[in-house]
Structure 1
């Protein structure tokens, strides 16, 4: 992927803990068919813990060597991601809001979370009970290519991210970019950057991407090389590591 290989650093983080994350954990292992989230997905906010995680992320950013600090920050437009980006940047000296040249997050809708369509807000049990034909179609097609009605497949997500990264090359040649988004965006960026297969990326997807964790790649020769994946050391030190 030439778009990302032109970067010096690509750093990604998932948003801090959201009220949606808490809602899904609360119904895990129960007979609930819905998570009980009242907001539309784009409006789900951070919890107090999520805001603390974002601040810890910001302190980690502030401590980076100068040649690793982001020169561009791009966020999903969803509230939980953009709030994470703003809180994190507020902790850094190079994002002083009083400075007209200070770093501010830009928004790109291609970084939004994967759209679930008619399955939005349902638990796995809820999908089986309310849409058994869709559950069967998912098993037949596999997670990567299955597209719920009104939603997106993982392959669809890869297509919009290819477009995003092509544009990023023009916007930030030789740049150091921080992306604040969602777990699916982190996983599918690994798929693109590391040229994984369908089987490989679906294995990666089985491992949870912790809230406010850090994943990084650094340019080495002609391409980006992985530095870390799902690093939460900055959260453990701050006492706000995901449970």
Structure 2
């Protein structure tokens, strides 16, 4: 077998930036109050709860389905998600491996536009807002940042390494929505226009699960952006803040 046996992609739990961006948009603000680096943004209270629910889901997996290798984005919110999920699973008797951090699984690098909402970009960098509108989200490369083609280049190397180093094993990646959609581009050969249409109807929610089966020799999509662990009424007691 020259591929991983299973590849599961998990987006991190809700972050403080997710909350701040949504609030600024809802209130028509051009400042969200966040400072520092995107890589250092932590989980929100809800995000910790989502990670706990993810841990319960992991604990309930039968032994033959449990990931054997875990690789994580270096961003704080992703590492916190896995830490809480693994801790929760362990409390139920399901031990998971320590995550290996791979810097190539980082979120999209936005360069000069890091941590800026669309309204903030329009106010501070109107020429860039116009260029983004003209080129489209997937083709646009912010100053000092990445286009989705750039993300695809680094993730192609990640995918090749996983298939080489962990062939025949079940692998779990904890990363970002950009990583999930670009993996679909790489694995399934979908164009970015196709991906945009998919995401418009099925967003990559926080702690959502995207899974590929590799037992037939190639990676076949089993589920995309699924959130069985977040369904209303399931483990309500597990949603706790930190």
Matched, 1:73 2:70: yes
Gaps of 5+ in 1: 97-101
- How large is the Cα RMSD of the aligned pairs? 1.8
Deviation string, structure 1 residues 160-200 (Cα, Å, up to 9, x no partner): 10011111122211110011011111111111111101211
CA-CA distance at 1:238 after TM superposition:
2.7
Matches of residues 140-159 of structure 1 in structure 2 within 5 Å? Answer: 140-159=134-153
Correspondence for 1:17: 14
Deviation string, structure 1 residues 127-172 (Cα, Å, up to 9, x no partner): 2222221122222322222100011111111111001111112221
Correspondence for 2:56: 59
Correspondence for 1:198: 192
CA-CA distance at 1:21 after TM superposition:
0.9
Whole-angstrom CA distance in 2 between matches of 1:129 and 1:92:
45
Correspondence for 1:88: 85
Aligned length: 232
Contact 2:11 2:175 in 1 (8 A): yes
Matches of residues 113-132 of structure 1 in structure 2 within 5 Å? Answer: 113-132=107-126
SS at match of 2:27: coil
Whole-angstrom CA distance in 1 between matches of 2:108 and 2:3:
26
Worse-matched range after superposition: 177-186 or 164-173: 164-173
CA-CA distance at 1:91 after TM superposition:
2.3
Worse-matched range after superposition: 25-34 or 104-113: 25-34
Whole-angstrom CA distance in 2 between matches of 1:104 and 1:74:
9
Gaps of 5+ in 2: none
CA-CA distance at 1:95 after TM superposition:
6.2
CA-CA distance at 1:116 after TM superposition:
1.1
Contact 2:59 2:94 in 1 (8 A): no
SS at match of 2:197: helix
Whole-angstrom CA distance in 1 between matches of 2:165 and 2:32:
39
Matched, 1:221 2:242: no
Whole-angstrom CA distance in 2 between matches of 1:47 and 1:138:
29
SS at match of 1:92: helix
**Over 6 Å off, 4+ runs:** none
Whole-angstrom CA distance in 1 between matches of 2:164 and 2:219:
17
Whole-angstrom CA distance in 2 between matches of 1:18 and 1:39:
14
